[in-house]
Structure 1
C-alpha cells in the first residue's frame, strides 16, 4: 500500500471526532475512489461499535456494508468498509463524496461511529497545511535533502525492517528542529513516534525514531515501505525534516535508469530485492509510474477499466531469455504493482538472487522480461 496521515489531538475532554486525517492525493483521486484509514483507528473507533453480525461479516468476507452520513449536509449513502491487510478502505460512494464536496489534498476529514451510522465531516474552512506531494507541487530542491544514504542489503531486508541513520546527520538535520521535550523523551525512552511522508507518492506512515548509540533507527513501517516501493541495495534514499514531518524520497530515476542517448528497448529495470526472490510469498514488485508509463499505456480501454474495478488483470508473460511463456496476473496495489501467478516458478527456474537486474517491457500484447546472466 498506499499509507496516510492519522492523528488525534490531545484533548482535555473526549473528542467527538476520534478519527481525523489530512486527505492525500490518492484519497481524492476519483479514478480510483476510496478513502484509506489506518487499522488501529478503525478497529478502536469503528469496528468496536459495530454489531456482532457486522463484525462477523467483515471477518468472513473482508468487507461490510453500512450507512454513512455526511454531517455537513445530512446526506445519507450506503458504503462499505473493506479490509486490505494493514489498513481499511472506505468504498462505495466515496467518488461521489469527493466530487460533491469538492475535496482537495490537505483538507481534514473527521469520522466517528454513532447510532449505527458512520458519520463524517469535512469543514470547509479548515485546510490542513500539508504540502502536496505530487510532482506538480513546488519541489524540495535537490540541495535541500541534507541526509542521503545508499541503501545496503540489510536496509532492504524485510525480515529485519529498520533503516539505520548516522547519529551526527540525525542530530544536525532532524533533532535540531525538535522541541526540548521531544529530545528529552528520545533520550529517556530511546524512541519517539513520528510521521514519515513519502515525497514521491504522498503516503504518510506512523513510525518511530529509535536511539542506538552512534546510530538512530527508523522503525515501524519501514518493512512496508521497502516492499511497496520495491527498494533494493544501491538505491539512494534522501531525507529531511520539514513541517513536523520526516520527508523521504527515492527518486524515480532509481527505478528507471535514464536513457543513455539511444532508445532503450527495456524501459523498466530493477535490481531484485529480498521480497522479489522470496518463494514463500512469490511476487515481483514494480513501481506504479513505471508500469503505467510503459505497460498500461499500451493496453486497451477495457483492460484498464478491469484493472480499476478488479485491481488485477490476467496477462501473458514471456521470458525473453528462454522464450518460455507463463499465464500470470498484474495486481494493482496503489503506488505499485505486483506480478503474481508463476513468479515463484520463475524464481526457481532462473535461480534469481538479490541484486540481479530484471528488465521488463510490453511488446505484442505480452509482458516480456529478461534477467541477463
Structure 2
C-alpha cells in the first residue's frame, strides 16, 4: 500500500500499459511479460496471473464461476495446485470454506478437460492459487513468483528487524539520486538500502540472482527465461562508477552488510564502515542520504532515539547541498531533528505506519553554455 504509483512506473518502463488500484497494478502481457516482470520489478511484492474475477455472495456462485474459468490453459493434468484465500467485507467470510469450494471447482473442470474419472495426482509443477474476496468480488489468481520479489537472494545475514528489499528500493526511487552522486545510508544494518541503490545505479535486474516458481511451468519455455536473463545481462552497466557508503554503530552488522554486498555480486563497490550518525560528515557536494533509523517504539528506547534524531539533525545541517530522506514512525521526528521536512509521504514498513521525511538540498548551479 502506498507504492502503487512506483510499481506502475516500473511496469510502464517495461513497455506495458497498466491500471492502478489500491494495493495492485493490473496489466496485460504474454509469457515473456511474466518473466520480464519478475526479473525487473524492484518495488512489486509479487507477480500474479488474474484468471478471473466475478461477484460471489453464495457458495454456488463461487463454485460455478470458478468452474467456468479456463483452468486447462494454465494447469497441466498433473499440476500441484494448493489454494489459499482471504476475505474482507464479504458475505462469504469463511476463508477455509471458500478455499475448499474453489479447489473442488477447479478439480471438476480439470477432470472434464482432461477426461479423468479418478482423483488428480498433483505430482507435477506447483501452481499456487489464491481466492481473494473484497466486497463480494472474488478475484482468483495464480502466483508466478514463488517467494516474494523482495527475496532477491543476496541476504546471507540480517538484523532484528530487516527492511524488505522492495521497500528499500522504493525509498531510493523516491529520492533525487542519480548514479553520479554520492550516496550514504547512515543506519545500514544488513546493507539493504545501500545494496538496492547500487543495483539500481548499475541497472542490475533485482531478480537476476534468484529463481521463480513459474520457471517450472511447461508453457513457460526455457528459452523465454534464457532470453530474459540475456536481456538483463546486456542492460547491466557494470562499469558505472558509484560512490555509495553504508554506516552502522554495530560492527557486526557492518560485516553482515559486506557479506550481503558480495553475495549480490557487488564486491567491495559499497564502502561499509562502523560509525555513529553524529560523526558522519563529507566534503563532497550534492549527495543523497537515505536512512531507516530506530523508531523508539520499544519501552525504554524512546529517549535515546530522540537524542539520536537531534544529533542527526545537527550533523546533517552541515551538509547543506545534500538531500536527506528519513523513514520513521516517530510522530515528533521533525521536532527532534530540528527542521520541518520539505515534503513527507505516508508509507508502511511491514505493518508499521511510517512517514518518509524528505529534505531537499540546494540544487547544483546550471552549467553556462557558450
- The TM tier, using the shorter chain, reads under 0.3
Which structure has more strand as a fraction of its residues? Answer: 1
- TM-score normalized by the length of structure 2: 0.28
- TM-score normalized by the length of structure 1: 0.27
Which structure has more helix as a fraction of its residues? Answer: 2
